[in-house]
Structure 1
Amino acid sequence: MLKKTLFQLHWFCGITAGLILSIIGITGAIYSYDQQILTWLNQKSYVVQVENSPKLTPDQLYQHLKQQDPKLQINSITIMQEADASSIVNIKKDGERKGLDLMVNPYTAEILPAIKGKDFFQFILNLHRTLTLERPFGSQITGACALMLIYFVLSGIYLRWPKKHSLKQWLFVKPKLKGRNFLWDLHAVVGTWVIVFYLMLAMTGLYWSYDWWRDGMFKVMGVNRPQPMQMANDKKTKEDVKPSNLQISHALQEAWIGFNKDYKDGFSSLTLTVPKKENGQVELSFFDATPQHERARNSAVYNYESQTLESVKKYEDKPLNEKIMSSMLPVHRGSFFGPVWHFLAMLSSLAMPLFFITGILLYLKRRKQKKLTEQARQITTPEEVKPDSSTWLIVHASQTGTAEQLAWGTSSSLQEQKESVVVKSIHKISQQDLMQYKRILFIVSTYGTGEAPDLATSFVKKIMPTSFDLSNTQYAVLALGSKEYADTYCQFGREVDAWLSYKKANPLFPTIEVDDANTLDIASWYQALAKVTELNLQTVKMLDAFDECTLVSRKHINVGSLGAPIYLLEIDTPKTIDWQAGDIAEIQPMNAKARIQNFMTKHHIALNNMDAYKVLKHKSLEHSTILQDTQIDTLEKQLPTLPHREYSIASIPKQNKLELVVRLKISEEGEVGLGSGWLCKHTNIGDVINLRIRRNESFHLANNSNPIILIGNGTGVAGLMSLLQERKSYGYQNNWLIFGERQREKDFIYEAELESLLEHNFFLTHLDLAFSRDSEDSCYVQHKLQQNSQRLIEWVANNASIYICGSINTMAHDVEQTLINILGAAKLDELRETDRYRRDVY
């Protein structure tokens, strides 16, 4: 919940404050080199021809300018040490709070061209600090955005915190990623690069936005905040008398000579403030020969009556805290830490729009997907439909969610063509529905060894045997199955097609069969539907692309067992991946390097075989099915993509990990299984795992605190553990787990976790275990269920739901027969129809 809340705030603040932060970032990057840019643009003003004579002294410049314009009010004169650098004379001018700088030839006192571009940089500064709005309103907006930037940095670190740390994961963009994954990776990795810079920019930028922040900074740094200058006493004294031009010239001359004589450390520039009263002093401001930054200013006072240099305050002698607080602009722009940091801070500031753009694109992709899903789920007629168009009824029968996804996708495609569509699960279909709708699409899966999905049981028992006529109905069937079960491939879909034909319904086109969610088979469905309807139907992508995840750990957890090895895998996922208890992880296996090398060796494929090499570049052998009789001349056509494999997820996102429990399949010939071999043997810790989440709504927890009964065996405990963890996070009590395996000593998966949960008996109320090889009578989970039949009846009467996860051929079948024996077939059908009997079996 914390992560979800932080994430929601992160993107919401990002799309609201992101544009302003982008403006602040770009203007800040431009203004960070304002003086360098102005110098480059105004070479004729800043650089002069070096002459053989020495530069004019401050008093000489003062006299020259006063002779040219007696009314000129000079505030200060700056002399540069570099021979070709102009001198700067600051004069009083109405509307200029800090006066106007005149660039003066230090050899001739000629006034050089005015600096071009200052107005532009003043606009950039106003845009940066206040968005050119009136104070304090503008500075309050930029200040609020700076606070949000601090939140973005801190929440961003938390949200992307990996379970396994590596420089590659933290700091390197992965250019091979595509689409949403690439945008997220770019957003996160570049965000990591600029963390320190953005914290520095935000925390110092607030100095100019909020008085309370500025006061806090002085307090934290242990520095007394400078007080505003007190107003001068209205009563005039002798010191208040304004000196004459001759006295000013004399004072400047004495100060210039005296400073050069008494100060031996050298300087790069020296500014003499024209005295405003006869007090015998000239205020000096100067920079070291190699100043730390543009605000590392020293100060002194020259008493020309006593001819002494007084009150010398050098910047380098200040303690660090005072340096920082007196140089907030250099700290903010990075020049305080040197030219390299200054440049990197500028680049970081310039990169600010990247996060706004990638954030917006990620938000739009999420919003688009959510919108399409919500639109597709609408079971009411769209606002605009074709006139005289009869409504389509789409019926889905899904065990693991695939058929349902295709149903909503088909609905979305039809609705885009202004067709009226209603989508219903098969267990909610009545005889009246079938009689009412004249165009019906059945999208049904075959489960296990030719069985109908659990939710279709009542349809098979109650609707299909009923006598009624569908001669006025047109239909089409999309049958889902797997050719791995050749004898029962798409059997339920074929049964539905035969039943509809028996009811005299009219097929729109022959049943289309889909092998393991094959994309070409699915595309054929849309093509056939488009042909008979004459509509421009778009194929709706059923599943997202695979995400690149990382294998963090792998542990063989049943060493020495009589059964096949079982491994516990922990996988680090991108933060964009989300799932809930009961969902499925789809893994895209890859061929082992040894298998690829054997294939390459067999066909003598090398760089000199250009035809074959081009094919292999086009379609990687890593992801392709390599057949024993593959022919090199028809190589491309014989390399279909490897099928994906599905595994129940054993964890929930709140645990900050995606956990799988995988049994290594080993054939009689000694070859490991495609998916299990890839996960358990061929990958190394730190390798990329291509993974995506498939929603498995038929195995999600009911949205209530009613009791649940969990039954499973072997690696099926994975799906049950996720349900238990989610129930625990909700604080729901009354959970009963029945688990079976071979040997307690070797195969008690999650023993420590379950025993810990059992200690809190208000949470895991009962834990019944059946280890078949530990007893002569081979006790299985159905036997434990039978032994506790009275408890089962009581829990079901108390609105308990039953969840089953594990092998379908033995455990699931035997458990169902036991449930029928105890509860009765009618009660079990009732549990199915009310979504209180849910299975994830394989």
Structure 2
Amino acid sequence: MFKKILFQLHWFFGITAGLILSIMGVTGAIYSYEQPIQKWLNPDSYTVQVENRAKLTPAEIYQHFQITQPKIKINSITIHQAPDASSSINIEKEGARKGFNVMINPYSAEILPEVKGREFFQFIQQLHRNLTVGPVGKQITAACTLILIYFILSGLYLRWPKKHSFKQWFSIKPKLKGRNFLWDLHAVVGTWVVIFYLLLAVTGLYWSYDWWRNGMFKVLGVDRPQPEMQANAGKAKQTEQMRGAGTSAEQVRGEKTTSANAEGHGKGREQSKLDSKQIALAYTQTWTGFHAQLKQDYSSITLSTPKKADGTMDVSFVDAIPQHERARNKAIYNYQNNQIEKIELYADKKLNEKIMSSMLPVHRGSFFGPVYQFLVMLAALSMPLFFVTGWMLYLKRRKQKQLTLAARHHTAIIDVDPHATPWLISYASQTGVSEQLTWRTATNLQAARQPVTVKALQHLTIEDLQNCPQILFIVSTYGTGEAPDLAITFVKKIMPHSFDLKHLKYAVLALGSKEYPETYCSFGHWLDTWLQQNQAQAMFNTIEVDNANAADIEKWTTALAKISKLELSHMHIEKVFDEWTFKKRELLNPNSLGGPVFNLEFHTVHEVVWQAGDIAEIQPGNSLERILAFLDKYHIASNTPVNELNLTIQQALWNRNLTVEVEPFANMQHLLEQLPILPTREYSIASIPEQQVLRLVVRQQSDTDGNLGLGSGWLTQHTQVSEQIAMRIRTNPSFHLINDNRPIICIGNGTGIAGLMSLIHARVRLNYTENWLIFGERQQAHDFFFKETLEAWQTTGMLKRLDLAFSRDQAEKNYVHHKLHEQQDLLKTWITQGAVIYVCGSIQGMASDVDHALVEILGETQLNQLRENGRYKRDVY
């Protein structure tokens, strides 16, 4: 219960205070590099041409301005040792509590160009400290800083694992997807920055609350100079009220903001009791005498104009190599007695005194050196990452019931058994499932201290086969029983040959779908046969997996554990669906000779990201009539409760396979255990996220008895508009759009227009016009899907070519592969220009015919090269 309360508070504060902390993080990161950024932006203000003479002394600079601009009241003069560094004067100016810095040429005292960016950094500073809304904003940022400390402590406690592993805590697992990846990114990066955030929060509160500041002084054992501070503050306020108007903007080139170089000057300077000649003499004597008595180098020195006729001048200087930008040494020089009365060296201070006198450098990280400051800056810039990922996790948490806990720790490897035989795992994947299972298998073996290497099948070489002692193959079947597209290279270059593989032990996990019984797992069996023909030794018989079925995957884990005598964890691919609202259903081909095709649109309230070419996976369900018929068959009342699910049996049966044989059951839970979940259905997405809608193009399918197909029936008839459906986005990297403006050639038929429309939509938004679409259907009058959009793209030049093949509009049927032959010269020209080919639609007929046509036009060698180079991509079904 305690942990649950901590978690609830953690996410609640995250979605409320997270935005403010993100603003504070980004602005703090920018402000921490104010000085180097300003020097980079204003080289003419901070550097000068070196001249073959000495720099002007403070006295000469003072006298110069007394002559040229006598109204300017100089608080201090700073001289830098570097020959090309400018000098500066700090002058009194209305509204500038610590004075105003003016950059001057150290050889001529000429005022240098205005420093750009001061107003910007003043705004950034105010945004960081109080959101630019004064005391109220200061209280908000202070409260959020306290919340940051809670985030740090509660986050560490919530993440504390049962088993401690360095990689578990600090390693990002890029193979994770969806919510698991977001959680990993949030938690692991949070662990990286926890020390930085803790120090930022603890030091940031120094300026927020007096009680916190007093506590810091007490904890570090440093006396707080409170009375002096209060006295100076009161004196400054009184002086501000008594002082007249300051120097005009024209006299100082319109400068409006303060600078850190003004440190060391008093607040609210009183009217000088010395005349200009006495001040010039004080500057001369101090400059000469202090240099003679100071026994160390410095990078810059600041002399403050004396305000009292007591014969002393305040001097501050920075070491030649300072610890940080505010590590200043202070001294009082008596120019009448020609001696240093008091000197306070920063290097001589104790660590606790250094910390309390340098809180800003400690806060921004420069106190600990430039490397640490850079890391602090990166940590501060990453603050929005936690706000964004936290929000996404919160939104997904409301939709998801269970998480794959093992996926959070997949790459946790303690060490490797030096005596273990290395494993090579090779995968062939079209849509990513085989690859996902490969990485889970790899991390499972790694957790058992096994050395593992992973390679895609297309990268597997003859040397790998000849040198590796044991290989696991995890391969999908695609199309009409072939290998996935990228694995064609292995099939054509290696499998036609024979090798001596007596030494090789292997196992095959073959993925497929029993809905295609003629080609079920055929590539896996083909690969197994080839390995046996080359005398490789199978560890166990090929294991088949039907649609990522968990029981089939468990057989794989069990077989591996038995043959290797290792303790391996259970693994499965868990599919977590989100709720989407069905918003629109529109018949695209009324009166067509083909089956009805519908444009379907869905909306969701949570954040969803996908790319052009990705796939929507639908969890179909049963119609009410089918559920009631099943209940009537087994004499079950529709409102019978299923206590374990807190549902009625009618509700629980919505996504169950009701066609299987059912044995006598003791209760509703026992009945449900016999009814597997209906298989999912996948559809190419026809839209991109920027359109604010997820669009599918689905054709109704019917069996020989006239019953609608599982997926198409669910989407086109059984589910009503405004109802909820279960859907998840699945990335389809093998069909993703290229990220440059090379030409693309889109080829498809029927509902394959969906995947092609998403690609072209994305290209149009990028203003890439080298797009060619070859599309085929039955009748132009009825089956020209998205005609208005395509013609508009053609008219505006976004679609350079549109070739249509409507097979039933003439006596001799005309298909898309015929269009390829007709335009083969143009096709070769586009390929020469770097074009990428995308094919989307039915594997039966269209995709196979297109493949043959491309072989005839380009040659098999060139087509294979295009495939290997990612320039021939297919999404066919």
The residue aligned with 2:451 is 420
Structure 1 CA distance for aligned equivalents of residues 16 and 464 of structure 2: 43
AA in 1 matched with 2:859? G
Asked if the contact 1:603–1:632 (Cα under 8 Å) also holds between the matched residues in 2, the reply is no
1:561 aligns with 2:600: no
Point out where structure 1 has 5 or more consecutive residues left out of the alignment: 1-9, 22-131, 149-178, 185-208, 210-227, 229-354
1:669 aligns with 2:705: yes
Instruction: State TM-score, norm by structure 2.
Output: 0.54
Structure 1 CA distance for aligned equivalents of residues 664 and 533 of structure 2: 48
Asked if the contact 1:389–1:420 (Cα under 8 Å) also holds between the matched residues in 2, the reply is yes
Partner residue of 2:615 out of 576, 580, 584: 584
Partner residue of 2:21 out of 3, 17, 22: 17
- Offset from partner CA, 1:722-767 (integer Å, 9 cap, x none): 1112222333331111001111121111111111111232x31111
The 3-state SS of whatever aligns with 2:875 is strand
- Offset from partner CA, 1:228-257 (integer Å, 9 cap, x none): 9xxxxxxxxxxxxxxxxxxxxxxxxxxxxx
Structure 1 CA distance for aligned equivalents of residues 863 and 392 of structure 2: 49
Structure 2 CA distance for aligned equivalents of residues 780 and 430 of structure 1: 39
Report the alpha carbon displacement of residue 574 of structure 1 after superposing the two structures with TM: 4.2
The residue aligned with 1:770 is 805
Partner residue of 2:425 out of 384, 394, 401: 394
- Offset from partner CA, 1:309-352 (integer Å, 9 cap, x none): xxxxxxxxxxxxxxxxxxxxxxxxxxxxxxxxxxxxxxxxxxxx
Structure 1 CA distance for aligned equivalents of residues 389 and 826 of structure 2: 58
Asked if the contact 1:612–1:632 (Cα under 8 Å) also holds between the matched residues in 2, the reply is no
AA in 2 matched with 1:421? V
1:745 aligns with 2:749: no
Report the alpha carbon displacement of residue 532 of structure 1 after superposing the two structures with TM: 2.3
Report the alpha carbon displacement of residue 424 of structure 1 after superposing the two structures with TM: 1.8
The 3-state SS of whatever aligns with 1:774 is coil
Q: 1:136 to 1:753 in 2, by over 3 A?
A: closer
Structure 1 CA distance for aligned equivalents of residues 405 and 796 of structure 2: 42
The residue aligned with 1:499 is 530
Question: Percent identity over the alignment?
Answer: 47
Report the alpha carbon displacement of residue 432 of structure 1 after superposing the two structures with TM: 1.2
Higher Cα Rg: structure 1 or 2?
Answer: 1
The residue aligned with 1:249 is none
The residue aligned with 2:841 is 806
The residue aligned with 2:758 is 722
1:519 aligns with 2:550: yes
Partner residue of 1:643 out of 674, 679, 682: 679
Provide the alpha-carbon RMSD of the alignment.
4.3
The 3-state SS of whatever aligns with 1:767 is strand
Asked if the contact 1:615–1:635 (Cα under 8 Å) also holds between the matched residues in 2, the reply is no
Report the alpha carbon displacement of residue 638 of structure 1 after superposing the two structures with TM: 3.7
Report the alpha carbon displacement of residue 568 of structure 1 after superposing the two structures with TM: 0.6
Report the alpha carbon displacement of residue 374 of structure 1 after superposing the two structures with TM: 11
Asked if the contact 1:606–1:613 (Cα under 8 Å) also holds between the matched residues in 2, the reply is no
AA in 2 matched with 1:581? A
AA in 1 matched with 2:503? N
The 3-state SS of whatever aligns with 1:785 is helix
Report the alpha carbon displacement of residue 421 of structure 1 after superposing the two structures with TM: 2.2
Structure 1 CA distance for aligned equivalents of residues 451 and 20 of structure 2: 37
Report the alpha carbon displacement of residue 357 of structure 1 after superposing the two structures with TM: 12
Asked if the contact 2:642–2:648 (Cα under 8 Å) also holds between the matched residues in 1, the reply is no
Structure 1 CA distance for aligned equivalents of residues 691 and 423 of structure 2: 43
AA in 1 matched with 2:778? R
Deviates more, 1:529-538 or 1:513-522: 529-538
Q: 1:141 to 1:420 in 2, by over 3 A?
A: farther
Asked if the contact 2:469–2:504 (Cα under 8 Å) also holds between the matched residues in 1, the reply is yes
The 3-state SS of whatever aligns with 2:566 is coil
Point out where structure 2 has 5 or more consecutive residues left out of the alignment: 1-13, 26-128, 146-177, 184-207, 209-236, 238-386
Deviates more, 1:819-828 or 1:528-537: 528-537
The 3-state SS of whatever aligns with 2:800 is strand
Write out aligned runs for 1:282-681 (5 A).
359=391, 362=394, 384-606=415-637, 617=648, 620-627=652-659, 630=662, 633=665, 635-681=671-717
Deviates more, 1:546-555 or 1:619-628: 619-628
AA in 2 matched with 1:621? L
Asked if the contact 2:424–2:470 (Cα under 8 Å) also holds between the matched residues in 1, the reply is yes
Structure 2 CA distance for aligned equivalents of residues 436 and 390 of structure 1: 12
Structure 2 CA distance for aligned equivalents of residues 782 and 607 of structure 1: 53
Partner residue of 1:684 out of 702, 711, 720: 720
Asked if the contact 2:395–2:606 (Cα under 8 Å) also holds between the matched residues in 1, the reply is no
Asked if the contact 1:14–1:359 (Cα under 8 Å) also holds between the matched residues in 2, the reply is no
Structure 1 CA distance for aligned equivalents of residues 416 and 875 of structure 2: 38
Structure 2 CA distance for aligned equivalents of residues 19 and 531 of structure 1: 55
The residue aligned with 1:780 is 815
The alignment of Structure 1 onto Structure 2 pairs a total of residues equal to 526
The residue aligned with 1:266 is none
Asked if the contact 2:434–2:476 (Cα under 8 Å) also holds between the matched residues in 1, the reply is yes
AA in 2 matched with 1:495? W
Report the alpha carbon displacement of residue 598 of structure 1 after superposing the two structures with TM: 1.3
Structure 2 CA distance for aligned equivalents of residues 835 and 571 of structure 1: 31
Asked if the contact 2:777–2:805 (Cα under 8 Å) also holds between the matched residues in 1, the reply is yes
The residue aligned with 1:110 is none
Report the alpha carbon displacement of residue 810 of structure 1 after superposing the two structures with TM: 0.6
- Offset from partner CA, 1:537-580 (integer Å, 9 cap, x none): 23344354111111111111111111101111111134343211
AA in 2 matched with 1:717? I
Report the alpha carbon displacement of residue 637 of structure 1 after superposing the two structures with TM: 4.9
Report the alpha carbon displacement of residue 665 of structure 1 after superposing the two structures with TM: 0.8
AA in 1 matched with 2:766? Y
Structure 1 CA distance for aligned equivalents of residues 519 and 834 of structure 2: 35
Report the alpha carbon displacement of residue 807 of structure 1 after superposing the two structures with TM: 0.3
- Offset from partner CA, 1:437-469 (integer Å, 9 cap, x none): 222111111112212211121211111122322
Structure 1 CA distance for aligned equivalents of residues 736 and 768 of structure 2: 15
The residue aligned with 1:702 is 738
The residue aligned with 2:791 is 755
The residue aligned with 1:831 is 866
The 3-state SS of whatever aligns with 1:580 is coil
- Offset from partner CA, 1:133-169 (integer Å, 9 cap, x none): 9x99996654447999xxxxxxxxxxxxxxxxxxxxx
Structure 2 CA distance for aligned equivalents of residues 540 and 19 of structure 1: 41
Asked if the contact 1:11–1:363 (Cα under 8 Å) also holds between the matched residues in 2, the reply is no
Structure 2 CA distance for aligned equivalents of residues 464 and 707 of structure 1: 33
Report the alpha carbon displacement of residue 398 of structure 1 after superposing the two structures with TM: 1.4
